[in-house]
Amino acid sequence: MAKRLTKLQMLQNGATAPKKVDASDSICADFLIYLKRECHLAKNTVDAYRRDMMQFVKWLDGRKPETMGVSDLSDFIGFLHDRELAPASISRNIVAVRTFYKYLQLEGIATENPAELLATQKSWQRMPGVLSPSEVDAFLSAVKKSDQFWERDRALLEVLYATGCRASEVCSLRVRDLSLSEKHLRCHGKGDKQRMVPIGGRAIAAIELYLSHARGILAARGPSLCDELFLSRGGRPLDRVQLWRLVKRYAERVGILSEISPHSLRHSFATHLLAGGADLRQVQEMLGHASIQTTQIYTHVEHSRLQRVHREFHPRA
C-alpha cells in the first residue's frame, strides 16, 4: 500500500506528487487541498482528515470510491473495528468519509452520498479518562528541580490543568496572550476562535518562574525569535508530540499507569469544576465547546456524586 499512499504522504511533507498515482489516492489528495484552500479549515483539522483518509485509501485497496455503496462502506466500519479503534475515532472516520463523498458530489464524480446512511458511534460509549484530585496533585508535583528545564515542564503541566486548554491550544500560546496580572490568558481554539480563559495563582507563579529563568535560555538556542510561550530544548515552539511525551514521563514517574494524555488534564479540569458545583454553561465557555451537548459528557461524574449523596442521606434510598 506504500505506493497508493505516496501522494498523500508527499502532500503532507509539502513535496511534489509523483506522476503516476492511484486514482483514489489522487482524489483524496485533491480533497485535502479543497478542505484547506476553499473550506479554510485549520491545519490541525486538515491533518486529522488526512489521517482518516489514509485509512480509507488503505481499505479501498485500489477500488474507486464512487463505486462504493452503503453495504461496502459498512465493511469499512468493520475494518476500523478490526483495528481496535476507539468509538470516538471510528465516528471521526465516518464524518471524514461523509465529507469526502459530499466533495465527490460537488465535483460530479459521485451522484449519491452512501456514507450519509452510516451510523456513528455514540461518543458517550467511552467516557473520557479522568484523574482524581489526589492523582492530579501527585502528577503536578512530579516535576523535580533536578529535571532539565523543570521550570518549563512545571509551568506546562500547571497550565494544562488550570485552564483545560487542548494540547494544540497550549502549544500555540504566545507570550503576548498572557494577562497574568488580570489572571487570564487568550486561547486560540478550533477554527482560530479566540476565548479568554481564567488561570489560577499556582499556574501564574509557575509561568512567571519559567519566564524569568528557563525561557530566555531556550529562546537563545532557536534559529529565530518566536513568540510562543513554551519552547523545546532547541528553542523552537513545543509541538503536541513533545507535550504528550512530557505528560507520559511525569505520569509514569508517580505511578499513574492509566492511559493518561494531555487531554486527560482537560477532562479532569471540566469534571472537577462540575463536581464542585460550577455551572455547565460556564464550563462550556471555558472549554471552548460550540455545543453544550459536548460539555454534558462530563456530567457523569456529577451524577455519580449526587447518587452517593442520595444513598447516604435519603431515608428510603
Close Cβ partners of 223 (under 8 Å, ≥ 6 residues apart): 235, 236
d(CA 45, CA 43): 5
| Cα atoms in the 13 Å half-sphere on the side-chain side of 277 | 0
Residue 313 half-sphere exposure, CB side, CA atoms within 13 Å? 6
Residue 202, SS3?
helix
Q: H or E stretch including 216?
A: helix 214-221
3-state DSSP of 245-281: HHHHHHHHHCCCCCCCCHHHHHHHHHHHHHHCCCCHH
- What does the CA dihedral 216, 218, 224, 225 come to, rounded to 10 degrees? -30
Q: Where in the sequence numbering do the catalytic residues fall?
A: 166, 190, 263, 266, 289, 298
Residue 179's H or E segment, with its range, is strand 178-179
Q: Go through the chain and tell me how many residues it has.
A: 317
CA distances (Å), origin 142, targets 147, 181, 218, 272, 289: 10, 27, 22, 20, 30
Q: Name residue 184's beta-bridge partners.
A: 179, 198
Nearest to 50 by CA among 84, 86, 17, 92: 92
Closest CA to 254 of 147, 139, 133: 139
What's the grid cell of residue 167? 494540547
